[in-house]
């Protein structure tokens, strides 16, 4: 390699097979205390329902389990190791105090059906978080029930439908910009709405003229991400909101990009009627390899009667409780109350920040994205000149001339010690490189990222094969995804 990678280097890495390959009869990692009640004759109790054999479940010892998963963990990249420049994912620091407080016994071991009398602590957490999120979004009411962003979107559209139904008829279509995340149209379909695409204008923003032309009494709502997936704030947001409201439509906001707005502006103030939040993005709850998340939905007053039941309330005696008497509710979207463990974490994050911390966080997020934009301008094509907020989108147009595409550059970035940025999204930018550093990145880390990206741009010119065959430094080289899809092997089988 011509350039020395300052951030990452190889080191000896343990191999580890599948846990089933280490199994041997008689090994055990468990021990149960003796029974203090009479033993039972399972054959007598269960008859033909008795299970005699648990098949190929492993039998291993505790140290083997510790080594197994520890070794596996060392094969992962993580926020704790370095920056994830993934656009719209908001991979920020996951504070550890969040983990500690969520494990306090009274919270971790609380059964959802235990009496309200001994659940006041949990209910107070729900109340406090709800109040904070309502204030942050500028809305009037909120549900914390949805388990993730997509689930929140579904809940949001159910609310839209219920509201429109109460006004006479549910209408037929949802307008979705072509720059939107895939969950938006997938969700609309699940709630029985047809999806109508809204083309972006030359600046990658909502084409207000097109919106005015497409908006009519058959459209229930517009699902908007603001700032949009290019990281650009929709400056015509008041016009957009007015067009929707004038014909009785609702403005739904996908809150995935809230990290650009917290403490600086509130969606409820610029005309949004309802929106979801991603606690695992903006509010620091850990991604954990793909989840869990939490997708609260905040709404304006007129949508409050339709919220999923139960709703938190203050009872006559001043204690907190759940109100199930909600005749206009859209129903439940899941059992129990939501991903409570994530509420604890999100609230701990909010308390650690306070009003100033939240604002400073947003400012740093936008500052960082713009610094990276400046650092990469010239080396990579910038398809839209509009100002970026917390994320910036480049394209692989320059590198494509050498036959190198965004995915190849992303794979080469791995050799420089970074996780790839978001490739090939948003769809309106062919060959996109979508970069969101978040506020958690220091100048040092960002300088290393900019340097790495510029080195790669040079490599594309001088030695494209190096980039095309990347990554070179990982445990496994590029994996055969075609074979995996043609002949899926989705479980281990004993030979």
Partner 1 sequence: MPYPSEFKYTKEHEWIKADGKAATIGITNYAQESLGDIVFVDLPKPGSEVTVGKTFGSVESVKAVSDLFAPASGTVAEVNAELATAPEKINQDAHSAWMVKIALKDANELNSLMSAADYEKFVAEEGGH
Partner 2 sequence: MRYLPKSPADREALLRAIGARSIDDLFASIPPEYKLNRNLKVPRQMAESEIVDWFRERSRENGDGYARFLGAGAYHHYRPVIIDSLISRGEFLTAYTPYQAEISQGTLQSIFEFQTMICELTGMEVANASMYDGSTAAAEAVMMAVRLTGRRSVAVARSLHPEYREVLATYGRHQQMPMTPVGFAENGRVDMKALEQAITAETACVLIQSPNFFGTIEGVAAVADLVHKQGALLVVSIAEAVSLGIVEPPRQADIIAMEAQSFGVPLGFGGPYCGVIATREQFVRQMPGRLAGQTTDRNGKRGFVLTLATREQHIRREKATSNICTNQALVALMVNIFMTIYGKVGLRELAKQNLAKTAYAAQQFSKHAQVLFGDAPRFNEFVVQTSESPQAINSRILGHKIVGGLPLKKFYPELGNAALWCCTEMTTRTAIDTAVGLVAESEGSARPGAETDVEEVTR
Which residues are at the interface with partner 1 (CB under 8 A)?
424, 481-482, 485-486
* Interface region with partner 2, contact rule CB under 8 A, candidates 190-198, 207-215, 298-306, 392-400: 190-198
Q: Cα–Cα distance between 299 and 339 in angstroms, integer?
A: 19
Q: Which one of partner 2, partner 1, none interacts with residue 189, CB within 5 to 8 A by kind? A: partner 2
CB of 486 to partner 1, least distance (A): 5
CB of 75 to partner 1, least distance (A): 22
Cβ nearer to partner 1, comparing 182 with 354: 182
Local structure of residue 309 (DSSP, 8 states):
S
Residues 196-225, one symbol each (x = binds partner 2 by CB under 8 A, - = not), give: ------------------------------
Which residues does 27 contact at the CB level (< 8 Å), separation at least 6?
59, 60, 61, 64
CA 487 to chain centre: 30
Q: Retrieve residue 385's tokens.
A: 């000149």
CB of 316 to partner 2, least distance (A): 18
Q: Which one of partner 1, partner 2, none interacts with residue 161, CB within 5 to 8 A by kind? A: partner 2
CB 68 within 8 A of CB 81: no
Cβ nearer to partner 2, comparing 9 with 113: 113
Q: Cα–Cα distance between 238 and 252 in angstroms, integer?
A: 13
Question: CA angle at residue 445 from 439 to 450, to 5 degrees?
Answer: 105
Binding residues among 156-175 for partner 2 as defined by CB under 8 A = 158, 161
Q: Retrieve residue 338's tokens.
A: 């939501």
- Pairing mode of beta strands 274-276, 422-423: unpaired
Residue 122 makes contact with partner 2 by CB under 8 A: yes
Cβ nearer to partner 2, comparing 192 with 430: 192
- Which residue in 104, 247, 328, 458 binds partner 2 (CB under 8 A)? 104
Local structure of residue 310 (DSSP, 8 states):
P
The DSSP code sequence of 343-370 is: HHHHHHHHHHHHHHHHHHHHHHHHHHHH
Q: Which one of partner 1, partner 2, none interacts with residue 462, CB within 5 to 8 A by kind? A: none
Peptide bond into 292 cis (omega under 30): yes
Neighbours of 54 (CB within 10 A): 7
Residue whose structure tokens are 């279509």: 173
Residue 247 makes contact with partner 2 by CB under 8 A: no
CB of 322 to partner 2, least distance (A): 11
Q: Is the dihedral of CA 333, 337, 339, 342 positive or negative?
A: positive
Q: Which one of partner 2, partner 1, none interacts with residue 403, CB within 5 to 8 A by kind? A: none
Residue 464 makes contact with partner 2 by CB under 8 A: no
Cβ nearer to partner 1, comparing 98 with 395: 395
Residue whose structure tokens are 């998340």: 293
Binding residues among 375-414 for partner 2 as defined by CB under 8 A = 375, 386-387, 389, 410-411, 414
Q: Is the dihedral of CA 198, 202, 208, 214 positive or negative?
A: negative
Binding residues among 286-345 for partner 2 as defined by CB under 8 A = 286-294, 308, 330-342, 344
Cβ nearer to partner 1, comparing 129 with 428: 428
Residue 465 makes contact with partner 2 by CB under 8 A: no
Neighbours of 70 (CB within 10 A): 11
**SS3 labels along 166-217:** HCCCCCCEEEEECCCCCHHHHHHHHCCCEEEEECECCCCCECHHHHHHHCCC
Q: Is the dihedral of CA 185, 434, 233, 239 positive or negative?
A: negative
How many chain residues bind partner 2 (CB under 8 A)? 199
Residue 43 makes contact with partner 2 by CB under 8 A: no
Residues 423-462, one symbol each (x = binds partner 2 by CB under 8 A, - = not), give: --x-------------xxxxx-x-----------------
Cβ nearer to partner 1, comparing 43 with 484: 484
CA dihedral 7→9→12→13, nearest 10 degrees, is: 60
What are the angstrom distances between the C-alpha of 68 and each of 473, 474, 485?
22, 19, 27
CB of 183 to partner 1, least distance (A): 17
Q: Cα–Cα distance between 156 and 148 in angstroms, integer?
A: 12
* Interface region with partner 2, contact rule CB under 8 A, candidates 40-48, 210-218, 394-402, 460-468: 40-48
Q: Which one of partner 1, partner 2, none interacts with residue 479, CB within 5 to 8 A by kind? A: partner 2
- Which residue in 207, 363, 381, 451 binds partner 2 (CB under 8 A)? 363
* Interface region with partner 2, contact rule CB under 8 A, candidates 108-116, 208-216, 296-304, 395-403: 108-116
Binding residues among 50-79 for partner 2 as defined by CB under 8 A = 50-51, 54-60, 62, 65-66, 68-70, 72-79
Q: Retrieve residue 440's tokens.
A: 């958690």
Q: Retrieve residue 319's tokens.
A: 């204690």
* Interface region with partner 2, contact rule CB under 8 A, candidates 299-307, 370-378, 392-400, 455-463: 370-378
Cβ nearer to partner 1, comparing 222 with 409: 409
Q: Which one of partner 1, partner 2, none interacts with residue 313, CB within 5 to 8 A by kind? A: none
């Amino acid at each position: 390699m011509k350039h020395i990678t300052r951030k990452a280097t190889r080191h000896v890495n343990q191999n580890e097979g599948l846990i089933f390959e280490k199994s041997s009869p008689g090994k055990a990692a468990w021990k149960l205390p003796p029974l203090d009640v009479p033993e039972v004759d399972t054959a007598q109790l269960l008859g033909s329902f008795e299970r005699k054999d648990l098949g190929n479940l492993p039998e291993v010892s505790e140290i083997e389990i510790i080594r197994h998963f520890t070794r596996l963990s060392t094969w992962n990249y993580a926020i704790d190791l370095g920056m994830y420049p993934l656009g719209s994912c908001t991979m920020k620091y996951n504070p550890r105090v969040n983990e500690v407080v969520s494990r306090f016994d009274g919270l971790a071991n609380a059964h959802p059906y235990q009496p309200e009398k001994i659940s006041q602590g949990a209910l107070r957490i729900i109340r406090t978080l709800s109040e904070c999120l309502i204030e942050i979004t500028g809305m009037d009411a909120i549900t914390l029930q949805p388990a993730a962003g997509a689930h929140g979107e579904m809940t949001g559209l159910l609310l839209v439908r219920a509201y429109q139904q109460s006004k006479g008829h549910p209408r037929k279509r949802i307008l979705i910009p072509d720059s939107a995340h895939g969950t938006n149209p997938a969700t609309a379909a699940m709630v029985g709405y047809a999806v109508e695409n809204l083309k972006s204008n030359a600046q990658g923003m909502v084409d207000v003229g097109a919106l005015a032309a497409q908006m009519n009494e058959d459209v229930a709502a517009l699902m908007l991400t603001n700032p949009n997936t290019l990281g650009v704030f929709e400056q015509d947001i008041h016009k957009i909101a007015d067009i929707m409201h004038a014909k009785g439509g609702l403005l739904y906001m996908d809150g995935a990009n809230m990290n650009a707005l917290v403490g600086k502006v509130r969606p409820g103030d610029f005309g949004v009627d309802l929106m979801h939040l991603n606690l695992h993005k903006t509010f620091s709850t850990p991604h954990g390899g793909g989840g869990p998340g939490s997708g609260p939905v905040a709404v304006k007053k007129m949508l409050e009667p339709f919220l999923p039941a139960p709703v938190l309330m203050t009872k006559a005696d001043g204690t907190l409780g759940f109100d199930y008497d909600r005749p206009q509710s859209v129903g439940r979207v899941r059992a129990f109350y939501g991903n409570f463990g994530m509420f604890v974490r999100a609230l701990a994050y909010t308390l650690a920040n306070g009003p100033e911390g939240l604002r400073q966080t947003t400012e740093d997020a936008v500052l960082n994205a713009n610094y990276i934009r400046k650092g990469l301008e010239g080396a990579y094509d910038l398809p839209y000149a509009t100002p970026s907020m917390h994320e910036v989108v480049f394209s692989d147009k320059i590198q494509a001339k050498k036959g190198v595409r965004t995915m190849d550059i992303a794979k080469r970035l791995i050799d420089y010690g970074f996780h790839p940025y978001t490739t090939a999204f948003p769809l309106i930018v062919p060959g996109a490189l979508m970069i969101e550093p978040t506020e958690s990145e220091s100048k040092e880390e960002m300088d290393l990222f900019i340097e790495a990206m510029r080195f790669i741009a040079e490599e594309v010119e001088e030695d494209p094969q190096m980039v095309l065959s990347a990554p070179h430094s990982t445990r496994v080289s590029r994996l055969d995804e075609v074979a995996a899809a043609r002949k899926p092997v989705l479980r281990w089988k004993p030979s």
